Each structure stands twice: as structure tokens, then as C-alpha cells.
């Protein structure tokens, strides 16, 4: 033991009793006469100062047991004390339990105790609470009905159970006997099942039961009973699944299966008047009507055509007819009719597919898009289909009986094809098939058509000369398309300019090596072009892009390469410019050309552009894609400076952009990596000089860049839609830390304009305060004036919903926005925060004092609390007191610090 080990002896039984009460523990004590602390070895590890000297251990121990030492000053001997304290460590928060008793031994009065790490118990308690919440949600949201009954009375019913019995609410069920809702025929079986459940956790087998509903009807269910407890007393939980539809479907299926399980044709039974009484599954398939829709209908109605069973019988019992499906499709059907005692049975065989195949076979040659000629063994044309007439520009009577060499053919090089080399002549002579020969034919009207020809012998025995079938396809359009595709592969379809592929190729080191001097790349992006597209339509936008492409061609020098990269992005590649001045002059000239009004659809439009410039000197190793990327970065920089500007690329710019992109990516993972934390700045009541509240301010410690300023990462979060994620993280962190470590303080948290637009904001605030155990009235949300002007109606609805939660609301940076005073007075605001720009002027400017005086008077007139921000001098504080300001914050009153340093 340490320190007092040689100076004091304590009741050994007392130490054993305390140690056994907490499990693995380390002994400590305090001599109440001398205020000296003592402890057993290992205490330094337990209280988080492993290996430290005695002074450090004593200081930490004194801090942790301070509440106990105060309480024992007036305590009686042998009085027990217990205290749990959080301990912040680099690996997280640990919990320590201190148990102590006042002891007197040999007239010495001491506080003797033990300390143990109970972090695991705390964690287990939280996990049990979370498990209970998940189980409650699972039961509440389950689609099956779940009830609990104790001593025969219902004590719980989930929403599904309320719906099952058509009750208005759970209150209609609670306290009533469960037998009120069980049909008498099912009651005895239910009682027998639960009587067998004698052990906790025992469950019955699934069994059918019938529920009695409030509306007098019944519901078939499958139920399982489980022996459980309710508030420590034996109870039964019942899970029920609605099987009404399942039973009805099973009965219908059994009936249909018994009727005609083996019949593949439509099997229909009718009354003597022709009303359908039975409709098998094949009938549903053939006609598209369900059994429910068909039964009870006249037979003619469901088959889509007149059908008289008596007439069919008189015609011999079998007829061929045309019926129609429910979707209007035509059916070719063979109908057989037989008489029954009370009506007729009809078998309708669907022959649509077979008849369609016959018709198709007959019509295929006439309807085929491919030209077909049959050439006889003598080389004369024997038949020609309509497609061949159309493709070759001839009529059948003009070519039948004429030589197949009548048409003039040329090959792809333009040379005439000898008659002996015609596909039909080759195949007739040697019997070998030919496939896909590309030839050009001259039509009688003097035009040409490109053909893809094939020839095949018709003789089954392979004898020659043979009759030959020649088939061919008109590929004239495809040849034209191929030529067009070659152009489109290298040009933009809208403007006709070079596309990105050509631009990258022209900027490659190999292409630039053939040029003397530097190569300059202008990356041009139209400003606010999306407004034109969204407001006037894409057709107007496309016309603007075509005009821009034309003007770029006119404003560039001979030999420059103009291209469209996609969307509203263009590029100009200029060779041989003398330097940055000439490049900037070219960019200004291009922008001035684009600035001229554009008249489209009777409207005069104005466009401007942001231009990024890259200059590649001879020997520059960057490829085309790299140069475009760097020019794009420069253009982006130009846009961030206000649009309608020109910017040159440099390496520093790339690093800044890369840092920005990296920070945006890292910010997505920052909440998971515990990199985001909250600093708290005190807010002081000017009447009592007491700290009554704190403002939570989000901070980011980046693992690579260190502390990132809020001015940098908050802007990133708002632009990348991450603000709602980190805002929710901030709410959960701040409410939890304040609830755990400073529950007496009010907490204020800033909301951005983007958060105010979030439909999940109210839910996030509710969840954060509920999970932390912080009363909603202890939370104040600050909104800037500018956030209220984005969508005043939405902002008003959101603030009203937050106010209903009990959260207080403040208007931040008052006096710097554009909202009207009348608008602010209609909102449910509690607090008004004076912007620091007015506070700084106090003492130096009479105008600032007058403005602050007016703001305070106006706020007090509508019962709003006033907080002055940015107090940095004692003179400012005194003036604020004189002006009857309620609260103040600023560096003079306290800087933002972590919760542990608050």
C-alpha cells in the first residue's frame, strides 16, 4: 500500500466487506483528521494514471472522491457511501464505482473505501436498453397481431391486433378478457393449449382459431401462444397471422383441381341458359378472364363472340370459331359441346398458334423484307418476291423468264462484275453456296443500290446445273450510316465541332511535337446556361449551343482547333501564342464574341463564359487528358471568383483544388472516425454574472491537416449536401455531452440554411434529445436571418414544428440579413442574438450604441431574450449592462473549449 500504509490500520473485515460488494477492487482511504489520502497498489491503473508518481495519483484520487469527502464531514460512523464517476481516457469514457464507509479505529476517524472499474456493467445496461427498444419496435411494427394476456385479461395489444378486430384503439382491448375476442368454437382449444405451457418460454404449435371482431364479423387466424411474464407475473403472449384469404384460396384450388386437374383445354360448364357455372385454369389462360370474373356471366360475354351450345350440338357437336381474349386478341378455337343434366359442358381448344403458323408460312415470302429470286438451271428468273421488286426497282412480269444477269453489278471498288462471276451463276455451276457478297446494282431508273447477296442451290441431290435461290438485303442506308458514323465518331452532333476524343488526340505530346512554340488550351464553360435550359427548354438551349459553336469558330485564328467537350463546355487549342498576355487577350476576345446578344425563338439572350487557360511549353509531358483536366481546374477557379472571368492554371491551384476534394471526401468519414468534436463557449447572464448556457461549436481535427477551420469545412458541407449528416452528428454529440456532464446549462446549437430545408430535421432533433435524456427546453436552435429568406413558408412551418417539440429558437447575427422586422415578429422565436459587428462598435461609435439600444428595446417589447455576441472588452460589457441586455458571450467571457475544460 502507499502513503498512509505505515501510519494507519483499519478494520480488515470492513475492507473485505467493501471489496466483496463491488468485485475486483482496489482499497483507498482518507484520514479525516489529517485529510491525508492512502491507497493500495494498482490504484494508479484503475483511476487512469498508470505509472504516475504519488502526487499525481493523490491529485486524481482527490478529484474523483471529492463529492464523498464533502459528504462525510457530517456523517456518522459506519455510514456507507457510494459514488460512480466517469473517467475520460484516450480510448473512451470509463466508469469507476467508489464505495466507502466512515470508520473509527483506535480513536482515528477515517473514510475507508474501494474503487472498481464498472465500465462493462454500464455498457451492458445500455445494450440491454437498446435491445428492449428494438424488441418494442419489432412488436409494434409487426404485421402479425401480437397480444399479451395475464390471468385471462389483455394487458398489451400491438397496432396489428387493433386492426385485426376492427377496434378504434388499443384502449378498446386492454383490460378485457381475451375470450371476448375468441369465437366459442375456438375457446376450448385455446385454453387447452395454454394450459400445457407450464415453463417460461414454452410455446404451443401453430393452431387455427377464429377471432370475433368489433363489427360482428370473424377473421381466421393461425396463432402461437408463448409462456412469458408481465411485470414479473406469469402471462401469455399470442402471435396471430390472418389466414382468411389463404383458406379461401385453398378451397378454390381444391375445387378446381377436382373438377379438371388433367384438362389442358378450356373446360367450361354452363346452365341451360348459357350462364357460366365453372371455369377451369386453362380457360383463364386462354381467355384472360379469372374464374371470379367469368362465373355467372353469359358464355358469349366471356369468350368474346356469340356462342350457342344448342346450335353447336345441332351442327354435330364441334365447330371452328373465332373468339376474343379479354385484351381484345383474336383466338382461333375448336369448340366441342356435350349436354349435362342441368346444362352444357364445353371444351374450347385454342388453335391460334397453329393457324397463325400456317398463315405466316403462306405470307412469309410475300412479306419478307429480304429480296428473293429463284433462278432456274438455265439461268432464267423463275420467281421474284415483292421485296425484290422494290429493292431492284422492277416488276415481276418484267423479269420473270429473263436472264438473271439482266441487272448490272459492280464490286466495292467500282469495277463491273463479269456475268460468269454473278453469285447465281457461280452457284448454278458448282453448287457451292455464297454468303454476304457486297455488290452495287444499277436500277432501271439510273440510281444505284448496295446489296448484300447470298446464293444457295435448291437441288437436294447436289446435281449441277441447279436451280438457285438468291437472297439479298438493301444495305444502301447502312453504307451511308457507316460514313456518317465515321464523321460522328470525331465530331459533336449538335455543333459539328471536334469532340473530346479529337481534342485529347490533338493535345497529345506526339501531336504537339509537330508544332513550334507553346500550345495554349482555353477551357470555356458557359455561365448560368442551366437557367436557359430549365426556363426556356432544351430546344432553345441547343440553339444557343449551336450559335456559341459558330461564334467560337469565327473568333478563333486560322489553324486553331475548336471543340465541344459536352454540355456547355467548349475548348479552343491555339498554337504559337507568345505568352500569357496574348492568351488572355484571345480569351477576352472569345468572351466578347459570346457576350453579344443571341436571338432565339423571338427572345434576346445574353451569355457569358468562364475561361480556364493552360499553356504547355514544348517538351511538356502532360497528355491531352491531363491538359484538359488542368484547364478545367483553372476554369473552376475562375467561376469561384465570380463567373465571367479568366484564370490561368498553376500547380498551386491544382493542390488547392485537390485539397478541397480530399477534404470533402474525408468529411464524409469524419463522424465515423471521431474527428469531429464540439467546443463550448460560455453565455453569461449580465444580471447575475453567472454562466447559464453554452453555445456548441463544431470543430474538425483532420488526421493529416490538423485543425480545419469551420469557415472552410462548413462551406464544403453545405455545397456537398453533407451538412445534414454532420449537423445530426453535432446534435447527438452536444446533447449527450451536456446531459452527462453539465445538465444545469442550457445548450445552443447553430442550424444552417440547408438544415432548415431538411424534411428530417424535426425528427433528428427529437431523436437527439430523447437519446441523450436532455429536455427539449434545454436546447436552443439558432437560425440566421438569411436562412429564413430562402423559403419563408417552409422555414415558418419547420420552426413551428421545432417549437412544438419544446425546443427554444433564436435568430442569430441579427441585423446582417435581409428579412423584415414584421416577418421576424410572426415567427415563434425566443431569443435574439445581436451580431458581433454591432457589439465591437460599442464604446467607439455612438451609432453602434444607438442601434444596439433599439434592438434591445424592440426585442424586450415582444418578450424576446437578447444575447450580445463578440464581447471582447470590459467596456463593451458595462455598456451592455447599462442598456439592459440580458446575456452576452465572447472571448472576454470565455473562449470555446472542449467539454472537459468548460
Distance CA 223, CA 233 (A): 22
- Whether 140 and 159 have beta carbons less than 8 Å apart is answered as yes
State the pLDDT at residue 824. Answer: 65
208 vs 243: CA distance, rounded Å: 9
* DSSP per residue, 783-827: EEHHHHHH-HHHHHHHHHHHHHHT-EEEEEEETSS---HHHHHTS
β-bridge partners, 838: none
Burial class (CB in 10 A: 0-12, 13-18, 19+), 466: buried
User: Measured between alpha carbons, how far is 243 from 250 in angstroms, rounded to an integer?
Assistant: 10
> Strand 779-784 to strand 746-751: parallel, antiparallel, or no bridges (unpaired)?
parallel
CA atoms lying within 13 Å on the CB side of residue 373: 33
- For 600, other C-beta atoms within 10 Å of its C-beta total 17
Angle between helices 874-882 and 846-861 (to 10 degrees): 40
Distance, in Å, from the CA atom of 424 to the CA atom of 374, rounded to the nearest integer, reads: 9
* φ/ψ (deg, to 5) at 236: -130, 135
For residue 798, report the phi and psi dihedrals to the nearest 5 degrees.
-65, -45
Contact between 164 and 154 under an 8 Å Cβ cutoff? The reply is: no
Query: CA distances (Å), 448 to each of 173, 406, 443, 477, in order?
Result: 88, 15, 6, 12
CA nearest to 531, candidates 523, 541, 539: 541
Distance CA 72, CA 88 (A): 26
Ramachandran bin of 643, using left for φ above 0, alpha for ψ from -120 to 50, beta for the remaining angles: left
**Which residue, 612, 632, 499, is CA-closest to 563?**
499
pLDDT digits (tens, 9 = 90+) for 64-115: 988 888 888 766 666 788 888 898 888 888 899 998 888 776 667 788 889 9
Alpha helical stretches, state H, 196-288: 244-260, 281-287
* Cell numbers 464523321: residue: 487
Only one residue has cell 437560425, namely 783
Gap between the Cα atoms of 49 and 61, Å rounded: 10
Q: What residues are paired with 416 via a beta bridge?
A: 410
Euclidean distance between the first and final Cα of the chain, in Å?
35
d(CA 423, CA 401): 18
Give φ, ψ of 866 to 5 degrees: -110, 130
Positive or negative, the Cα torsion across 260, 263, 267, 272?
negative
CA distance 881 to 291: 86
pLDDT of 254: 66
Task: Write a three-state SS string for 62-98.
Answer: HHHCHHHHHHHCCCCCCCEEEEEEEEEECCEEEEEEE
Of the CA atoms within 13 Å of residue 712, those in its CB half-sphere come to: 18
Regions of the chain short of the pLDDT cut 70: 1-24, 74-78, 105-107, 132, 251-262, 358, 361-363, 365-367, 483, 815-824
CB 595 within 8 A of CB 527: no
Q: Quick one: pLDDT at residue 14?
A: 53
Per DSSP, the residues of 617-672 read -TT----HHHHHHHHHHHHHHHHHTTSS-EEE--HHHHHHHHHHHHHHHHHHHTTT
Give the angle subtended at the CA of 460 by the CAs of 457 and 461, to the nearest 5°: 105
Contact 201, 171 (CB under 8 A): no
Prior bond of 266 cis (ω within 30°): no
Task: Give the count of alpha carbons within 13 A of 310, CB side only.
Answer: 5
Alpha-carbon distance values, 775 to 746, 799, 806, 810, 858 (Å): 10, 18, 8, 17, 29
Rounded Cα–Cα distance for residues 689 and 458 (Å): 111
> What are the angstrom distances between the C-alpha of 169 and each of 159, 172, 175?
8, 6, 13
821 CB burial (10 A radius; 0-12, 13-18, 19+):
exposed
Cell of 251: 378451397
CB 450 within 8 A of CB 440: yes
CA-CA distance, 588 to 611, in Å (whole number)? Answer: 9
The pLDDT of residue 259? 55
Contact call for residues 552 and 525 (beta carbons, < 8 A): no
CB 481 within 8 A of CB 574: no
Which runs of E-coded beta strand occur in 686-743?
691-702, 706-708
Task: To the nearest 10°, report the CA torsion of 753, 756, 758, 759.
Answer: -160
pLDDT at residue number 816: 64
Residue 890 Rama label (left phi>0; alpha psi -120 to 50; beta): left
Strand, helix or coil for residue 605: strand
User: What is the spatial distance between Cα 12 and Cα 249, in angstroms, rounded to a whole number?
Assistant: 78
DSSP string for residues in 161-207: HHHHTT-SSGGGTTTSBGGGGB-HHHHHHHHHHHHT--STT-BPPPE
Pair 729, 767: CB distance under 8 Å: no
Residue 587's nearest CA partner among 624, 631, 653 is 631
Which residues are paired to 230 by β-bridges? 233
Instruction: Provide the b/e sequence for 412-444 (b: ≥16 CB within 10 Å).
Output: eeeeebeeeebbbbbbbeebeebeebebbbbee
pLDDT at 20: 45
b/e burial code for range 701-738 (CB count within 10 A of at least 16 → b): ebeeeeebeeeebbebbbeeebbbebbbbbbbbbbbbb
Task: Give the pLDDT confidence of 560-608 residue by residue, as tens digits.
Answer: 999 999 999 999 999 988 889 999 999 999 999 999 999 888 888 889 9
pLDDT of residue 870: 93
| E strand or H helix that includes residue 760 | none
Q: 131: number of CA atoms within 13 Å, CB side?
A: 6
Q: Which three cell numbers stand for residue 882?
A: 447599462
Amino acid at each position: 500500500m502507499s502513503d498512509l500504509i505505515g501510519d494507519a490500520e483499519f478494520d480488515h473485515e470492513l475492507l473485505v466487506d467493501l471489496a466483496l460488494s463491488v468485485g475486483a477492487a482496489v482499497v483507498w482511504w482518507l484520514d479525516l483528521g489529517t485529510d491525508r489520502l492512502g491507497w493500495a497498489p494498482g490504484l494508479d491503473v484503475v483511476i487512469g494514471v498508470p505509472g504516475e508518481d504519488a502526487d499525481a495519483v493523490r491529485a486524481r484520487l482527490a478529484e474523483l472522491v471529492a463529492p464523498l469527502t464533502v459528504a462525510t464531514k457530517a456523517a456518522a460512523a459506519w455510514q456507507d457511501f457510494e459514488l460512480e464517476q466517469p473517467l475520460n481516457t484516450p480510448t473512451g469514457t470509463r466508469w469507476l464505482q467508489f464505495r466507502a464507509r466512515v470508520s473509527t479505529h483506535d480513536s482515528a476517524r477515517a473514510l475507508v473505501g474501494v474503487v472498481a472499474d464498472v465500465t462493462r456493467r454500464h455498457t451492458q445496461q445500455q445494450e440491454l436498453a437498446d435491445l428492449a427498444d428494438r424488441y418494442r419496435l419489432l412488436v409494434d411494427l409487426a404485421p402479425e397481431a401480437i397480444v399479451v394476456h395475464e390471468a385471462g385479461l389483455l394487458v398489451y395489444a400491438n397496432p396489428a391486433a387493433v386492426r385485426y378486430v376492427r377496434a378504434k384503439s388499443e384502449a378498446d382491448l386492454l383490460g378485457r378478457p381475451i375470450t371476448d375476442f375468441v369465437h366459442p368454437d375456438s375457446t376450448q382449444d385455446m385454453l387447452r393449449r395454454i394450459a400445457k405451457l407450464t415453463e417460461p418460454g414454452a410455446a404451443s404449435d401453430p393452431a387455427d382459431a377464429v377471432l370475433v371482431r368489433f363489427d360482428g364479423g370473424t377473421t381466421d387466424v393461425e396463432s402461437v401462444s408463448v409462456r412469458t411474464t408481465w411485470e414479473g407475473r406469469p402471462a401469455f403472449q399470442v402471435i396471430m397471422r390472418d389466414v382468411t384469404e389463404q383458406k379461401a384460396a385453398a378451397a378454390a384450388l381444391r375445387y378446381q383441381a377436382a373438377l379438371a386437374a388433367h384438362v389442358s383445354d378450356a373446360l367450361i360448364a354452363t346452365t341451360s341458359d348459357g350462364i357460366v357455372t365453372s371455369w377451369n385454369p386453362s380457360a383463364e389462360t386462354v381467355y384472360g378472364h379469372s374464374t371470379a370474373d367469368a362465373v355467372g356471366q353469359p358464355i358469349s360475354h366471356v369468350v368474346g363472340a356469340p356462342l350457342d351450345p344448342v346450335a353447336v350440338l345441332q351442327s354435330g357437336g364441334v365447330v371452328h370459331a373465332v373468339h376474343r381474349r379479354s385484351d381484345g386478341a383474336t383466338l382461333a378455337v375448336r369448340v366441342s359441346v356435350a349436354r349435362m343434366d342441368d346444362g352444357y359442358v364445353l371444351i374450347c381448344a385454342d388453335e391460334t398458334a397453329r393457324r397463325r403458323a400456317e398463315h405466316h408460312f403462306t405470307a412469309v415470302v410475300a412479306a419478307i423484307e429480304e429480296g428473293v429470286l429463284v433462278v432456274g438451271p438455265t439461268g432464267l428468273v423463275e420467281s421474284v418476291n415483292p421485296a425484290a421488286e422494290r429493292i431492284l426497282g422492277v416488276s415481276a412480269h418484267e423479269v420473270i423468264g429473263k436472264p438473271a444477269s439482266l441487272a448490272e453489278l459492280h464490286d466495292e471498288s467500282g469495277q463491273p462484275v463479269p456475268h460468269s462471276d454473278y453469285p447465281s451463276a457461280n452457284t448454278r455451276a458448282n453448287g457451292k453456296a455464297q454468303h454476304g457478297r457486297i455488290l452495287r446494282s444499277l436500277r432501271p431508273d439510273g440510281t444505284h443500290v448496295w446489296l448484300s447477296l447470298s446464293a444457295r442451290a435448291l437441288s437436294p441431290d447436289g446435281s449441277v446445273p441447279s436451280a438457285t435461290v438468291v437472297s439479298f438485303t438493301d444495305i444502301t442506308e447502312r453504307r451511308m450510316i457507316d460514313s456518317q458514323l465515321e464523321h460522328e465518331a470525331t465530331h459533336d452532333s449538335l455543333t459539328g465541332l471536334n469532340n473530346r476524343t479529337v481534342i485529347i488526340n490533338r493535345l497529345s505530346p506526339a501531336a504537339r511535337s509537330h508544332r513550334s512554340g507553346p500550345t495554349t488550351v482555353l477551357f470555356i464553360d458557359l455561365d448560368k446556361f442551366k437557367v436557359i435550359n430549365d426556363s426556356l427548354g432544351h430546344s432553345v438551349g441547343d440553339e444557343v449551343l449551336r450559335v456559341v459553336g459558330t461564334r467560337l469558330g469565327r473568333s478563333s485564328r486560322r489553324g486553331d482547333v475548336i471543340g465541344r467537350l459536352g454540355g456547355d463546355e467548349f475548348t479552343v487549342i491555339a498554337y504559337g501564342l507568345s505568352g500569357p498576355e496574348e492568351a488572355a487577350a484571345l480569351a477576352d476576345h472569345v468572351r466578347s464574341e459570346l457576350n453579344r446578344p443571341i436571338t432565339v425563338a423571338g427572345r434576346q439572350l445574353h451569355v457569358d463564359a468562364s475561361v480556364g487557360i493552360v499553356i504547355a511549353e514544348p517538351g511538356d509531358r502532360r497528355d491531352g487528358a491531363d491538359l484538359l483536366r488542368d484547364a478545367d481546374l483553372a476554369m473552376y477557379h475562375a467561376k469561384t471568383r465570380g463567373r465571367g472571368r479568366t484564370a490561368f492554371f498553376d500547380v498551386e491551384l491544382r493542390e488547392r483544388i485537390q485539397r478541397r476534394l480530399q477534404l470533402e471526401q474525408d468529411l464524409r468519414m469524419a463522424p465515423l472516425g471521431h474527428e469531429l468534436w464540439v467546443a463550448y463557449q460560455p453565455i453569461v447572464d449580465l444580471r447575475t454574472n453567472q454562466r447559464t448556457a453554452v453555445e456548441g461549436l463544431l470543430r474538425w481535427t483532420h488526421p493529416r491537416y490538423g485543425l480545419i477551420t469551420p469557415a472552410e469545412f462548413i462551406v464544403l458541407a453545405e455545397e456537398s449536401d453533407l451538412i445534414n449528416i454532420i449537423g445530426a452528428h453535432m446534435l447527438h454529440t452536444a446533447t449527450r455531452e451536456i446531459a452527462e456532464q453539465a445538465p444545469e446549462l442550457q445548450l445552443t446549437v447553430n442550424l444552417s440554411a440547408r438544415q432548415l430545408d431538411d424534411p428530417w430535421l424535426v425528427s433528428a432533433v427529437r431523436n437527439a434529445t430523447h437519446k441523450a435524456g436532455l429536455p427539449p427546453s434545454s436546447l436552443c436552435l439558432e437560425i440566421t436571418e438569411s436562412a429564413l429568406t430562402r423559403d419563408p413558408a417552409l422555414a415558418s412551418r419547420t420552426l413551428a414544428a421545432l417549437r412544438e417539440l419544446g425546443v427554444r429558437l433564436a435568430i442569430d447575427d441579427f441585423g446582417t440579413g435581409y428579412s423584415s422586422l414584421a416577418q421576424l415578429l410572426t415567427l415563434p422565436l425566443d431569443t435574439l442574438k445581436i451580431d458581433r459587428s454591432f457589439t465591437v462598435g460599442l464604446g467607439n461609435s455612438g451609432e453602434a450604441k444607438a442601434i444596439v439600444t433599439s434592438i434591445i428595446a424592440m426585442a424586450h417589447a415582444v418578450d424576446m431574450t437578447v444575447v450580445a455576441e463578440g464581447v471582447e472588452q470590459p467596456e463593451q460589457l458595462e455598456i451592455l449592462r447599462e442598456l439592459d441586455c440580458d446575456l452576452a458571450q465572447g472571448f472576454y467571457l470565455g473562449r470555446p473549449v472542449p467539454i472537459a475544460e468548460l
